[in-house]
Amino acid sequence: MSHHANDPAVEPVETTPRRKRVTPPSLAALAAAGEKLVMVTAYDYPAAVAAEKADVDIVLVGDSGAQVQLGYDSTVPVSVDEMLVLAQAVRRGTTTALVVVDLPFGSYEVSDEQAVATAIRFVKEAGADAVKLEGGGRVPAARIRAITAAGIPVMGHVGLTPQTAVALGGFAAQGRTVEAARRVRDEALAVQEAGAFSLVLEAIPSDLAAAIRPQLTIPAIGIGAGPAVDGQVLVLHDLLGLTEGRAAKFVKRYATVLDAMTEGIGAYAADVRSGAYPGPEHGYAMPEGVLDALDG
Ligand SMILES: Nc1nc(=O)c2c([nH]1)NC[C@@H]1CN(c3ccc(C(=O)N[C@@H](CCC(=O)O)C(=O)O)cc3)CN21
Ligand SMILES: CC(C)C(=O)C(=O)O
Ligand SMILES: [Mg+2]
């Protein structure tokens, strides 16, 4: 469509006015104007289409998809090749939102070269706009610097970092002692200093996020970090009610999709068993005479 914009021979297709593509600078401008940034995860085409229709700013192909989409019991086992399939489907369904892809565990820790090569795969093979990686220590900061230097925007992620939750002592909120709070703050500043265009603050006290934010010049997106940040992110399956069991404290449920799916499939199963489906309207008519000639 856009490549025909200056071609008078081509009638413009009538469309609803679409906003322009979201970019790291446009996000910074939105945040500077006081607009809250909306980020949600997606792992497949229909979810990306729905997120786009709902006008979210950032779609994250999170490694949480390892659990909620692929059924692993943590984010650790998911591979780059698996994340690529998810990211490609999301890219096909997304037109204006910024598509960020999580670098999975093991795909960036070894060296700057490994991190850049992985980030390039997500850009070249899935059309990712940016990548996200966990941590703000010396090693993750070096990786952020290297990937950014290769021309790929990087989103940071500090606080509760699920890929290294074992080392953190489980899925507990972070930054609740003076030492731990300093560590979260220093990591957030290191991520910014390394060149990240934005960062996620996960599972830290709201007051700590409020204390860190004035020291940041890049937008901070919270999940379990309270309201004093530039935007919020939630796992799609959590907010839609597609996950079973007890959710984290920060989850707010906006729909009951797993129940709706179960009901729908259950109603279909009951119809098949009772013979109510298929009805005459679901069948194909045979043209006259064909059946008579069948055995002739
Ligand atoms: N479905 C889902 N939602 C997520 O937000 C999510 C994933 N999966 N998988 C990857 C990580 C793991 N995350 C998690 C997982 C569990 C808690 C959780 O239950 N936290 C307790 C901790 C309380 C504490 O001791 O501080 C909570 O009650 O919130 C938090 C974040 C966030 N990410
Ligand atoms: C929760 C967000 C920040 C994430 O990293 C994920 O979904 O994997
Ligand atoms: Mg993640």
Rounded to whole angstroms, the Cα distance separating 83 from 141 reads 22
Q: State pLDDT tens for residues 239-262.
A: 999 999 999 999 999 999 999 999
Decide if 202 is catalytic. Answer: yes
Ligand 1 pocket, 64 CB below 6 A? yes
Catalytic residue among 35, 52, 109, 202: 202
Closest ligand 2 atom to residue 64 Cα is 8
Residue 294 falls inside a structural domain: no
**Does 295 fall in a domain?**
no
Domains: count for the chain: 1
**Do residues 199 and 192 lie in contact, with contact meaning Cβ atoms separated by under 8 Å?**
yes
Asked whether residue 9 is assigned to any structural domain, the reply reads: no
Asked whether residue 120 is domain-assigned, the answer is: yes
**Any atom of ligand 1 within 6 Å of the Cβ of 243:** yes
* Binding-site annotation, residues: 63-64, 102, 132, 134
Q: Using alpha carbons only, how large is the chain's radius of gyration in Å? A: 23
Q: What is the pTM of this model?
A: 0.93
CB 203 within 8 A of CB 224: yes
Provide the H-helix boundaries in 54-175: 65-68, 80-93, 112-126, 138-149, 165-168
250 alpha carbon, closest ligand: 1
Q: What is the DSSP string of 174-243?
A: ---SHHHHHHHHHHHHHHHHTT-SEEEEES--HHHHHHHGGG-SS-EEEESS-SSSSEEEE-HHHHHT-S
Instruction: Indicate whether residue 222 lines ligand 1 (CB < 6 A).
Output: no
Structure confidence by residue, pLDDT tens digits, 94-131: 999 999 999 999 999 999 999 999 999 999 999 999 99
For residues 202 and 209, what is the distance between their CA atoms, to the nearest angstrom? 9
> Is residue 264 domain-resident?
no
Helix crossing, 112-126 with 80-93: angle to 10°? Answer: 40
Does the residue 181 lie in any domain?
yes
202, 223 in Cβ contact below 8 A? Answer: yes
User: What confidence tens digit (pLDDT) does each residue in 266-278 have?
Assistant: 999 999 999 999 9
Binding residues for Mg(2+): 63, 102, 134
Pocket test for ligand 2, best of 199, 223, 240 (most atoms within 8 A of CB): 223
CATH number, residue 116: 3.20.20.60
Is residue 84 a part of any domain in this protein? yes
In a domain, 201, yes or no: yes
For residue 95, give its domain range: 18-259
